Amino acid sequence: MQHKKAQYVRGRGGGLKRGGDSSGDELCLGSAQPGCSFKSGPVTNGTAGRRPTLIEPERLKDFGEEDLLNGDVKVHDDKVTETPEIVLMDPPKTRRLSEFRIVTRPAPQFLRFEDISAAAFRIQTEIQKTPCTYSRLSKQYGMEIYLKKEHLHYTGSVKERGVLYLLCSLTQEQQRKGVIVATDCNFSMAVAHHAVELKIPVFVIMPSCCSSPRLRIYRDYGAMVISYGSTGHDSQKHARHLASENGYMYLEEDESAAYLAGLGTVGMEIYEQVPKLDAVIVPAAGQYGLLAGTAAAIKHLNSKILVIGIEPESFPLLLQSLKTDSPVKDIHSNPNRKLYGDLMERSLGENTFQLAKKLVDRVISVSEEDSLVAMLRFQEFERSTVDTEGAMGLAAILAGQLPELRGKKVAVVVTSANMDLELVRQCVDRALVLDDRVSKFSVQLGEWPGDMAKLLDFLSREDVRLLDVCHRRQGDKTDLFKAKV
């Protein structure tokens, strides 16, 4: 569209008139003139600052016919040479509500890899980086076995990682008042040690049935030990009362994010120490926090690495929970409390269950006998004494439950090594019998001189070493002049 330009100059009274035409009336844009359609006011963005007044109908001719006849208004003819084609758009189609796809916001993750990485950075100066060494048992079982020796921590347990980061996550007010525990387990020992190192007051409430050597361990760490009640329930109740009365932080092994993040640092170290890893075997007893945290770290770094959880056959809490698709609180079983000890403090929370369900590839249960033989293998081939929980990972391998890992590179987490010496001796004796290394038999001998010597001479020719001999005379009248050996 072509338009002719017109020039305007400011006339008297602040109005504008066309350039070159002094006789024309001024065109008002901002001043109060008779017949002007705008009231006085500043011009802003091309419009008057005040609202324009309406033009009366009888005044329309003043701006049309009369001015045109008097010659005061010059008319310019505009010629339209080209008009763009106007394309009409279709009206928007109305969509039904059912046609809209509802995008749900993803649920926040309970344990993120960023939390585990932050925990690793925070505890790196107080927690040693335990070795992950190649095992001599690799050739025997046809796979490359690397043992992550978490039992080498100061308190002999992997739980130091989670406890230290949990204590560091407390507020300054909570650290000033102190913490309190009431269970005799690896978790409490880790709390006693690291709370003293961080200069946090720590109190340990134990029942009177707790042995003196165990109480001495907590005192050596620097904790204040108090004996109360005859059972563990009494000591826990008293500890909660002291916590509420004095403002202490009552700590127990749970599934808090800080505790799981600290335990998850094991997975980060394994990934760094063993290149081209194929699988990780993690004990899944107790609170299952180690399995959940390690799986979260490993799967984030490499989702192709298998994560396998191991739990005792006498109380497979995680296996039952996976079958029912909900965390099982307890199982009616009668495990060996003396042997499993710390594993009996078992509990499976919702968070750890969801992590295990999503990230763990397989869960296996091992028998008590396999765990005892695995403890024997550690003493023979690794020169290490571990407890039942620490031996469960190797127990799954020697029991032949993981044939798919033959020829693979496998890391096994050795979690702890806290067991009384007398119980260690009993476990070794039992393991020797299970491994067909020790046999118990009895024979009847006559009480004639030289009968015992003949028996010992026969055993020596068979290359048999006697560990113990019990010679007992029979009290039955039918077995006169005979003895049972």
pLDDT band at 382 (very low <50, low <70, confident <90, very high): very high
Q: Which positions ≥6 away from 232 have C-beta within 8 Å?
A: 182, 183, 184, 207
The count of C-alpha atoms lying within 13 angstroms of the C-alpha of 5, restricted to the half-sphere facing its C-beta, is: 1
Bridge partners (DSSP) of residue 250 are 180
CATH of domain 159-250: 3.40.50.1100
- CA–CA distance, 150 with 390 (Å, rounded to integer): 9
- CA–CA distance, 181 with 188 (Å, rounded to integer): 6
Average pLDDT, the chain: 81
* pLDDT value at 9 more than 50: no
The full set of domain ranges for the chain reads 8-70, 127-154+263-434, 159-250, 444-484
What per-residue confidence (pLDDT) applies to 38? 44
- CA–CA distance, 386 with 61 (Å, rounded to integer): 111
pLDDT band at 376 (very low <50, low <70, confident <90, very high): very high
* pLDDT value at 39 more than 90: no
* pLDDT value at 48 more than 80: no
Q: Do 230 and 137 touch, CB atoms closer than 8 A?
A: no
Are both 127-154+263-434 and 159-250 of the same fold? Answer: yes
- CA–CA distance, 448 with 482 (Å, rounded to integer): 9
- CA–CA distance, 418 with 388 (Å, rounded to integer): 9
* pLDDT value at 22 more than 50: no
- CA–CA distance, 244 with 432 (Å, rounded to integer): 50
Query: pLDDT, tens digit, for every residue of 209-265?
Result: 888 888 999 999 999 999 998 888 999 999 999 999 999 999 998 889 999 999 999
- Least confidently predicted of 264-278, 279-293, 341-355: 341-355
What per-residue confidence (pLDDT) applies to 461? 83
Percentage of the chain beyond pLDDT 70 is 72
pLDDT band at 481 (very low <50, low <70, confident <90, very high): low
* pLDDT value at 34 more than 90: no
Q: Rounded mean pLDDT of 325-337? A: 76
Helices (H), 157-288: 159-168, 172-177, 186-197, 212-221, 232-246, 257-273
Residue 93 structure tokens: 């189609």
Query: pLDDT, tens digit, for every residue of 79-110?
Result: 555 555 555 555 555 555 455 444 444 444 57
What per-residue confidence (pLDDT) applies to 472? 72
Residue 348 structure tokens: 């499976």
Of residues 336 and 127, the one with the higher pLDDT is: 127
Quote the DSSP letter at residue 60: G
- Could you give the C-alpha distances from 81 to 4, 76, 87, 174, 413, in angstroms and in order? 13, 16, 19, 84, 87
What per-residue confidence (pLDDT) applies to 263? 96
Nearest to 267 by CA among 61, 112, 413: 413
pTM (whole model) above 0.85: no
Length of the chain: 485
Q: Do 204 and 188 touch, CB atoms closer than 8 A?
A: yes
Q: E strands along 208-355, which residues?
A: 224-227, 249-250, 279-283, 306-312
Of residues 376 and 52, the one with the higher pLDDT is: 376
Q: Which positions ≥6 away from 367 have C-beta within 8 Å?
A: 313, 395, 399
- CA–CA distance, 197 with 186 (Å, rounded to integer): 17
CATH of domain 127-154+263-434: 3.40.50.1100
Q: Which positions ≥6 away from 122 have C-beta within 8 Å?
A: 165, 168
* pLDDT value at 188 more than 80: yes
* pLDDT value at 480 more than 60: no
Percentage of the chain beyond pLDDT 90 is 53
* pLDDT value at 485 more than 70: no
Q: Do 413 and 286 touch, CB atoms closer than 8 A?
A: no
Q: Do 264 and 299 touch, CB atoms closer than 8 A?
A: no
What per-residue confidence (pLDDT) applies to 431? 94
* pLDDT value at 53 more than 60: no
* pLDDT value at 354 more than 80: yes
Residue type, 322: L
